[in-house]
Amino acid sequence: MVFTRESGQSVPVELRRRKGTRNLRLSFGLNNQILFSIPPRCSERIAIDFLESQREWLEAGLDKLPATSSLRTWINRYPKLCASGELFHVSIQAAKGRNSDYIFSNYGSDVILRVLDPRDDVQLMHVVRCFAKDALYCRVAYQAKYHGLSIPTVSVRNQVSRWGSCSFSGTISLNWRLVLLDPELMDYVILHELAHLKQMNHSDKFWNQLEKYDPLYKFHESEINKISSEIMRVER
């Protein structure tokens, strides 16, 4: 299904029929598509009519959405990556060896992403994911040790909309895009998930635990909420 805007632009509509859904509901996805949840037995004709009836709301919402961005475009605009509680200036160069990798330069203040073909976005993504894995593993280990916790198992993934999660087994999963954030916001997400090792919920006890780790967690949560919509659209 496609929604054709007044400008002529075609916007994909992701139709979702789910058990338990009683009402027709519209929202937007991180690929700037329209998410349309409908009851299982709702006819396509009714769905199309409802979509058209919400045209004004959809047009206004689509105008406000941040644009999706390739990783290369983002790095060119914001040439920095986060690791070890610091921001490093980033540049992209052709790799001289057989493998793509990254190195620190300029006395450790810069990061060079060395890519076999600097024009290849897949190779660039691979190098940044490697950087993110190393950076996040080290930062979790540092924060866990600092707060007297056992170092948990960590996985770095390409989550659709979440910055992180903690399983009941104690595995922490983190979004690779955390390296695009400022250090205090990366730390907030890590500390949030480490607090779940103590409290596997969002009860008052959890928030009290998080406050012990990050006294400014409310401010950091507010700041990350302001930018999540934009950064989550990088490399979609």
**pLDDT digit string (tens) for 92-110?**
999 988 899 999 999 999 9
Q: What is the DSSP string of 95-109?
A: -SSSS-EEEEETTTT
**pLDDT tens track of the chain, all 236 residues?**
899 999 999 999 999 887 888 899 999 998 899 999 999 888 889 999 999 999 999 999 999 998 899 999 999 999 999 999 999 999 999 998 889 999 999 999 999 999 999 899 999 999 999 999 999 999 999 999 999 999 999 999 999 889 999 999 999 999 999 999 999 999 999 999 999 999 999 999 999 999 999 999 999 999 999 999 999 999 98
Q: Which has the closest alpha carbon to 110: 81, 88, 131, 135?
A: 88
| pLDDT value, residue 66 | 87
pTM reported for the whole predicted model: 0.86
| pLDDT value, residue 57 | 95
| pLDDT value, residue 21 | 83
**Where do the domains of the chain lie?**
2-64, 71-231
| pLDDT value, residue 166 | 95
| pLDDT value, residue 48 | 92
CATH, domain range 71-231: 3.30.2010.10
Beta strands in 54-201 (DSSP E): 80-83, 86-94, 101-105, 110-115, 154-157, 164-166, 172-175
| pLDDT value, residue 124 | 97
The span from the CA of 11 to the CA of 49, in Å, is 16
| pLDDT value, residue 140 | 98
